Structure formats: C-alpha cells, structure tokens
Amino acid sequence: MTKTRKSVPAFATEAEERAYWEREDSSAGLDWTKAESVRLPNLQPSTTAISLRLPVSLLEQIKIAAHKRDVPYQSLIKMWLAEKVG
C-alpha cells in the first residue's frame, strides 16, 4: 500500500507554520523508506541535582575508592548506581 505524501506549503510567518503543524500530521510528509540511522556521540543525557545524606565515614570510604581509581567520587557513585540498576 503506497501512501501519498502531502507537500508542505510555504509559510509567511512562524505563527502560520506553527498553526499548520498543530493541526496536520507531520508523518504524512515522511518517506520512512529513505530514513537513515544516525549517531549522536556527543549527546549528553539530561541530569538533575539531588541531595543525599551519607554518614561521614561512608563518604570518606567512597572518596578513598574514587582516589584509587583516579575518578571524581561523584562519578564513582554514578557508576556504581548505574551498575546496580542496569
């Protein structure tokens, strides 16, 4: 089954284009047979800051472990969490 593609009109203003895409299906103009995979190697996942209370002795042990691995202690905590969750 071949789907006919609609041509996208020219827009006089950004507001006109925004209104058009709010009511039209953008996939109607796509030809997925010509789609290509892309890699975004420099894309960083979004992060959020959290506050975590740790006993001082535990934090010191983590800092020592991080120093032995030559990584920042917060990065080591993230690595350990990722290993446990994933």
Q: Is residue 17 part of a domain?
A: no
Closest to 3 in 3D by CA, of 26, 31, 36: 31
Q: How confident is the model at residue 77 (pLDDT cuts 50, 70, 90)?
A: very high
9-43 tens-digit pLDDT:
899 999 999 999 898 887 777 777 888 999 988 98
Structural domain span for residue 86: 53-86
At 4, the pLDDT band (50, 70, 90 cuts) reads: low
Rounded percentage of the chain residues whose pLDDT exceeds 90: 59
Indicate the number of domains in the chain: 1
Kindly write down the DSSP assignment for every residue of the chain, as one continuous string.
Answer: -PPPPPPPPP-SSHHHHHHHHHHS-GGGG--GGG------TTPPPP---------HHHHHHHHHHHHHHTS-HHHHHHHHHHHHH-
Say if 69 falls within a structural domain: yes
Question: How many Å apart are CA 4 and CA 69, to the nearest integer?
Answer: 58
